[in-house]
Structure 1
Amino acid sequence: MNYRVGDWVEVLGPEEILQTLDDTGALDAMPFMPEMLQFAGKRLRISASAHKACDTIDSYRNRGVEDSVHLGVRCDGSAHGGCQAGCLLYWKTTWLKPAAGPTPQNGPVTSRPSGVDTSVVDRATRAFGPDPSDREVRYSCQATRLVEASSPLRRTDVRQYWKDFASGNVSLWAMSRYLPLAVYNTLVSKLGHGRKIPSVKGLAGQITPSEVLDLQPGELVEVKSADEIMRTLNAKSGNRGLYFDEEMLPFCGKRYRVKQRVDRLIDERAGVMMTMKTPGIVLEDVVCMGCYHPARLFCPRGIYPYWREIWLKRVEEAGRPASNDSPN
Structure 2
Amino acid sequence: MDLRVGDVVEVRGEAEILATLDDRGELDGLPFMPEMLRFCGQRMTVHKVAHKACDTISHGRMRRMERAVHLAGARCDGSAHGGCQTACSLYWKDAWLKKVSDGPVAPDKDRRLLPLLEINAHKPPGPEGEERFACQATELHRAAPTCVPLKDVRQYAIDVKSGNAGVLKTLRGLFFAVFNRYQSISRRVLPGWLRIRGGLAWGWVPKGKPGPTPTGTLALQPGELVRIKSRQEIVATLNHERLNRGLGFEEEMARHCGRTARVVARVERCLDERTGELLQMKNPCIALESVYCEGVYSVNCPREFLPFWREIWLERVDETAS
Give the TM-score of the pair, scaled to structure 1: 0.89
Q: Which amino acid aligns with 1:68?
A: A
Q: 1:124 aligns with which of 120, 132, 143?
A: 120
Query: In the alignment, is the contact (CA less than 8 A) between 2:170 and 2:299 conserved in 1?
Result: no
Query: Helix, strand or coil: the match of 2:142?
Result: coil
Query: In the alignment, is the contact (CA less than 8 A) between 1:220 and 1:256 conserved in 2?
Result: yes
Q: 1:165 aligns with which of 153, 160, 173?
A: 160
CA-CA distance at 1:62 after TM superposition: 0.9
1:288 aligns with 293
1:213 and 2:215 are equivalent in the alignment:
no
Query: In the alignment, is the contact (CA less than 8 A) between 1:225 and 1:253 conserved in 2?
Result: yes
CA-CA distance at 1:114 after TM superposition: 4.4
1:255 aligns with 260
Partner Cα distance (2:71, 2:33) in 1: 15
Runs of 5+ unmatched residues, structure 1 = 321-328
Partner Cα distance (2:301, 2:210) in 1: 32
Q: Which amino acid aligns with 1:279?
A: P
Partner Cα distance (1:79, 1:184) in 2: 41
1:144 and 2:146 are equivalent in the alignment:
no
Partner Cα distance (2:158, 2:303) in 1: 15
CA-CA distance at 1:174 after TM superposition: 1.6
Higher helix share: 2
Summarize deviations over 1:63-98 as a string: whole Å, max 9, x none: 000000000210111111111111111000011111
2:82 aligns with 81
Partner Cα distance (1:161, 1:25) in 2: 32
2:191 aligns with none
2:190 aligns with none
1:305 aligns with 307
Partner Cα distance (1:40, 1:120) in 2: 16
Poorly superposed stretches of 4+, deviation over 4 Å: none
Partner Cα distance (1:136, 1:225) in 2: 39
2:176 aligns with 181
Partner Cα distance (1:245, 1:130) in 2: 30
Query: In the alignment, is the contact (CA less than 8 A) between 2:228 and 2:259 conserved in 1?
Result: yes
Q: Which deviates more from structure 2 when the two are superposed, residues 265-274 or residues 196-205?
A: 196-205
Query: In the alignment, is the contact (CA less than 8 A) between 1:266 and 1:274 conserved in 2?
Result: yes
Partner Cα distance (1:11, 1:53) in 2: 22
Q: Which deviates more from structure 2 when the two are superposed, residues 57-66 or residues 229-238?
A: 57-66
Query: In the alignment, is the contact (CA less than 8 A) between 2:203 and 2:255 conserved in 1?
Result: no
Summarize deviations over 1:191-249 as a string: whole Å, max 9, x none: 33323322211334412111100011110000001111111111111100100010011
Q: Superposed, which structure 2 residues align to 1:44-59 within 5 Å?
A: 44-59=44-59
CA-CA distance at 1:115 after TM superposition: 4.4
1:135 aligns with 129
Runs of 5+ unmatched residues, structure 2 = 188-194
Q: Which amino acid aligns with 1:128?
A: P
Q: 1:319 to 1:291 in 2, by over 3 A?
A: farther
2:40 aligns with 40
CA-CA distance at 1:319 after TM superposition: 5.9
How many pairs align?
A: 309
Q: 1:130 to 1:208 in 2, by over 3 A?
A: closer
2:98 aligns with 97
Q: Which amino acid aligns with 1:165?
A: V
Query: In the alignment, is the contact (CA less than 8 A) between 1:202 and 1:231 conserved in 2?
Result: no
Give the TM-score of the pair, scaled to structure 2: 0.91
Query: In the alignment, is the contact (CA less than 8 A) between 1:259 and 1:283 conserved in 2?
Result: yes
Taking every aligned residue pair, what percent have the same amino acid on both sides? 47
Q: Which deviates more from structure 2 when the two are superposed, residues 44-53 or residues 155-164?
A: 155-164
CA-CA distance at 1:135 after TM superposition: 2.7
Query: Helix, strand or coil: the match of 1:23?
Result: coil
Partner Cα distance (2:178, 2:321) in 1: 40
Q: 1:20 to 1:304 in 2, by over 3 A?
A: same
Query: In the alignment, is the contact (CA less than 8 A) between 1:204 and 1:230 conserved in 2?
Result: no
Q: Superposed, which structure 2 residues align to 1:271-282 within 5 Å?
A: 271-282=276-287
Query: In the alignment, is the contact (CA less than 8 A) between 2:54 and 2:63 conserved in 1?
Result: yes
1:198 and 2:198 are equivalent in the alignment:
no
Summarize deviations over 1:289-325 as a string: whole Å, max 9, x none: 1112xxx3211111111000000000011466xxxxx
Query: In the alignment, is the contact (CA less than 8 A) between 1:202 and 1:230 conserved in 2?
Result: yes
Summarize deviations over 1:27-65 as a string: whole Å, max 9, x none: 001001111111111100000000011111124311000
